Structure 1
């Protein structure tokens, strides 16, 4: 299969979206087919599709352009995919999440982050915190819990949404999960469907935000930026479409919301040879956003002829590429993104990416970044 690293330079802009709503993100099913039970139901394995590799995550078994599609993270041996029955609750104004199947997260209820002592929002996407303590119902003793965070994004009309749950309490990446979906109806009760064009090209832009956890140390960080996605509806041939996702202007924040982008870039520059005392060593080229803030290296796509299907589902590979002043570049992160297109004019896209690489600040440590995006044509 031919794959070409897509390196064209394209500028993006931020388009805000509402993080309200109250839909159940992952509808509970009976025990025989609930993907969270581990009972070998039909949703327990990734969907078999002619769309190619990478495979789509588990979820809706018979997707169509006119149906709701729900996808969740597949379980892996690093703790991913264990979060189940993810539900955003706001029917009584409580603004909270229910997350099942994660040990030591209190009573499974996640409340909105404190904007003073923590993080309540990254861009338009809301951040929620698992309870920091619980109690023994027999003795009444107060017990500490693990650090869990959830992020929620919902489109401006409620047609699509995503949620991400990760923990910063493990030496490895820890337990968590994600879910993204095209809803059956929007906020006005209109049926959501996809009418996929067969001609022309389109550009989608919007916001991106995510959670970073680590293998080799505990801790959790936030990342925010913007994304753009291009679709060539007319090529490749045989009903396939060309897609390319870029994530730009990412800035990194610690668990208290303090920006640490520059410190991260300094460490990356040193490891890349820019601060070794050798004047011949290349230095990292640092990009800046429209306000002059330093940003992380751009995430770029790997183009393949079978990344998208007729149901509007996308799965493709990505790379984070650092560039240096001598013209060289280095791949510092790799992963996969998943997305769903929606709308009568294919005007909206929701998606999630998962990427990992070495953390230049701590030797022997790797990061895992899980981010969500909602984009508009």
Structure 2
């Protein structure tokens, strides 16, 4: 069973890809005889987060350009960061997730297949998994209803990087969930992975984005897809600080059954915002507002780790703009000449269809073009 990483969930009940990239030498890998989850002790304590002015998530405490790096969502007041011991089994195409209440037998199975409980098995190149909707009391045989958790898993074509996101929409607040992303010690071919960070020139990256939305105030879970791109100016800012920009465009929204509801969402935005300029893709189809990032110094380091603020903006026909969502993304570069980047984005905003806020958590993998 291949370890992917992790720490993610439990419960506050208020209301394929196969990867061979992990070499087993990750200091947070339980197969080495260490703790059961990144940054956790044997008692499940999440441990002490990394002390960093750049706001890196907890995980690998002494990263280097030549080391594997694991980062996972910290435990927070909104319920993130409680899952532990996430493992992907390529032989059965399943995930195991520990420390999640009401998710059945802790095994998440691929959606969109015969016998699956949900029709969504993929979001672009990334795989979608589901928890069991019921379990059985081993004493009485009574069927117990569970919560609907969904996991998104992405692994790069090289096997150097991967991410996982787990959320549930069966809470009236954001509930418990989380994410994890990593640069592996070896790639899919068994070659050692490291970062060779350029010090000159500009680079463009392109790839895919997929995520989930959950809500504060109502239950429900929705999926998103999009085109992720990044630009990096390796020579500026000065003092060896690369300039970085992330964009997620052509975003589309789907309900939990995979039905495209982008047009419905845009119609609600228009109803609440007179003069809204509807964003469209190259074919003229309405799409969700684009994600942009705040370009500033000191967002990347020599180990290839990136932390940057993100936002979505509404544009109006009088030339004005309004911020619709804000958050951050976290990413890791990998490979020769920083050939690929994996990251996870988390942002919040107000939903125009209901009196509720949303939390969007999405993963992306992009490649140097």
Instruction: Tell me, yes or no, whether TM beats 0.5.
Output: yes
Corresponding residue of 1:47 = 50
User: 2:277, 2:316 within 8 Å by CA — same for their partners in 1?
Assistant: yes
1:249-288 counterparts in 2 under 5 A? 249-272=250-273, 274=274, 283-288=275-280
Return closer, same or farther for 1:105/1:33 CA change in 2, 3 Å cut-off. closer
Kindly report structure 1 stretches of 4+ aligned residues shifted beyond 3 Å.
Answer: 22-26, 29-34, 36-41
Q: Within the alignment, does 1:35 sit opposite 2:39 as a pair?
A: yes
User: 2:29, 2:38 within 8 Å by CA — same for their partners in 1?
Assistant: no
- How far the C-alpha of 1:27 sits from its partner, in A, is 2.1
Give 2:314's match in structure 1, choosing from 322, 331, 341.
Answer: 322
Return closer, same or farther for 1:32/1:248 CA change in 2, 3 Å cut-off. closer
Give 2:357's match in structure 1, choosing from 337, 356, 366.
Answer: 366
Corresponding residue of 2:247 = 246
1:16-27 counterparts in 2 under 5 A? 19-22=17-20, 27=29
Return closer, same or farther for 1:366/1:194 CA change in 2, 3 Å cut-off. same
Corresponding residue of 2:199 = 198
Return closer, same or farther for 1:33/1:149 CA change in 2, 3 Å cut-off. closer
Aligned length: 344
Corresponding residue of 2:294 = 302
SS at match of 1:205: strand
1:152-191 counterparts in 2 under 5 A? 152-191=153-192
User: 2:21, 2:190 within 8 Å by CA — same for their partners in 1?
Assistant: no
User: 2:250, 2:287 within 8 Å by CA — same for their partners in 1?
Assistant: yes
User: 2:243, 2:297 within 8 Å by CA — same for their partners in 1?
Assistant: yes
Corresponding residue of 1:66 = 66
User: In the aligned structure 2, how far is the partner of 1:110 from the partner of 1:318?
Assistant: 30
User: 2:292, 2:310 within 8 Å by CA — same for their partners in 1?
Assistant: yes
- How far the C-alpha of 1:31 sits from its partner, in A, is 4.4
SS at match of 2:294: strand
Which runs of 5 or more residues in structure 2 are unaligned? Answer: 1-15
Corresponding residue of 2:334 = 342
Which runs of 5 or more residues in structure 1 are unaligned? Answer: 1-17, 275-282
User: 1:23, 1:87 within 8 Å by CA — same for their partners in 2?
Assistant: no
Return closer, same or farther for 1:34/1:352 CA change in 2, 3 Å cut-off. closer
